[in-house]
């Protein structure tokens, strides 16, 4: 099988699985409590509780016009995968409603907990499930359309960042639950979902931030070099530098290590040169020899 075909198959599997997981989280954890964590599905859940309209029907009725508007205003930025996800999400929700129903996965009679505890658990696990689902969709190089398109249009005409646009759009949708139900606690639970969801998505797309970048200025660069190359079997770069105060020439050792290796090297430098300067930075993505390859980074699934 050709690598391109194999990658394409993986991406479509990721897309379908992501849509299914997102739909499961919506039906079993988020929708039953009246949460509205942004997006057209959050707004659709408000319509469902107010007027009995099916969430998936309300969402698809908003998504399709938004997709058309997106093509007109933004151009051809939305591929076939985004169209597929726009259709798959309501389909999966419809099937789950027919088979599973509308009750929460966390039923009150299962455990002796208060309504607050049920809502808190549902919001946390709802955020996790949402994050996994959307993470898989994003890994397939697709989006779910919906409010993402509104944010893109808002960004185009106001020049604000995508993050700020998302906060504005999703924030307004989340606050609509106060107007709809008169319960100020619902937006708080929805914000928990959004926060947890974003952390899970970041973890899935970027991985754990285990890599550390060190910039070391030491009086004993040769010893540090030997330790990195011979003891740790790692590469490093020596960057020429000059001290602003003394004007003396100094080399800056630039090296990227795992967290465990960072601790080992930091301890070694402290032992041979207590006056050394060591700057440690978190690195969310390191590509190249010894880490994830550039080719793999373009095919995350």
Q: Write out 95-112 in H/E/C secondary structure.
A: HHHHHCCCCCCCCCCCCC
Computed over every residue of the chain, the mean pLDDT equals 85
Domain match, 186 and 152 both: yes
- Give the closest residue to 279 by CA, choosing from 207, 210, 208, 218: 218
How far apart CA 79 and CA 74 sit, in angstroms, is: 13
Domain match, 265 and 121 both: no
Cβ count within 10 A of residue 38: 23
Domain match, 257 and 142 both: no
Is 50 exceeded by the pLDDT of residue 300?
no
20 touches 92 (CB < 8 A): yes
β-pairing, 211-217 vs 277-283, is: antiparallel
Residue 107: inside a domain, yes or no?
yes
Residue 59 confidence class, pLDDT cut points 50, 70, 90:
very high
Is 90 exceeded by the pLDDT of residue 88?
yes
Domain match, 188 and 226 both: no
Domain match, 115 and 152 both: yes
63 touches 40 (CB < 8 A): yes
**Helix, strand or coil, per DSSP, at residue 299:** coil
Domain match, 190 and 226 both: no
3-state helix, strand, coil in the chain (%, to 5): 65, 10, 25
* Mean pLDDT across 68-88: 85
Assign residue 221 a region: left if phi > 0, alpha if psi is -120 to 50, beta otherwise? Answer: alpha
190 touches 123 (CB < 8 A): yes
How far apart CA 283 and CA 206 sit, in angstroms, is: 10
Report how many domains make up the chain.
2
* Mean pLDDT across 265-294: 79
Domain match, 74 and 101 both: yes
Residue 175's domain comprises 3-206
């Amino acid at each position: 099988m050709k690598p391109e075909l194999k990658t394409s198959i993986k991406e479509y599997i990721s897309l379908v699985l992501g849509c299914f997981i997102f739909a499961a989280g919506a039906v079993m954890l988020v929708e039953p409590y009246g949460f509205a964590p942004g997006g057209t599905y959050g707004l659709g859940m408000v319509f469902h509780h107010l007027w009995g309209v099916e969430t998936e029907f309300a969402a698809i009725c908003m998504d399709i016009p938004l997709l058309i508007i997106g093509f007109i205003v933004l151009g051809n930025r939305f591929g076939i995968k985004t169209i597929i996800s726009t259709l798959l999400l309501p389909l999966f929700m419809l099937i789950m409603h027919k088979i599973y129903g509308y009750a929460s996965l966390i039923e009150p009679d299962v455990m002796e907990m208060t309504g607050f505890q049920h809502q808190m658990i549902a919001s946390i696990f709802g955020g996790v499930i949402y994050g996994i689902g959307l993470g898989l969709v994003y890994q397939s190089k697709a989006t779910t359309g919906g409010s993402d398109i509104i944010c893109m249009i808002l960004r185009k005409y106001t020049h604000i960042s995508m993050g700020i646009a998302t906060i504005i759009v999703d924030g307004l949708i989340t606050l609509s639950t106060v107007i709809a139900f008169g319960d100020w606690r619902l937006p708080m639970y929805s914000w928990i979902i959004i926060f947890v969801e974003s952390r899970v998505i970041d973890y899935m797309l970027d991985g754990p931030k285990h890599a550390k970048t060190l910039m070391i200025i030491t009086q004993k660069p040769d010893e540090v070099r030997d330790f990195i190359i011979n003891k740790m079997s790692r590469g490093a770069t020596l960057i020429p530098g000059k001290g602003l105060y003394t004007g003396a020439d100094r080399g800056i050792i630039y090296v990227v290590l795992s967290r465990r290796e960072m601790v080992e090297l930091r301890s070694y430098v402290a032992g041979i040169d207590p006056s050394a300067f060591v700057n440690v930075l978190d690195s969310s993505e390191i590509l190249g020899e010894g880490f994830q390859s550039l080719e793999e980074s373009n095919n995350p699934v």
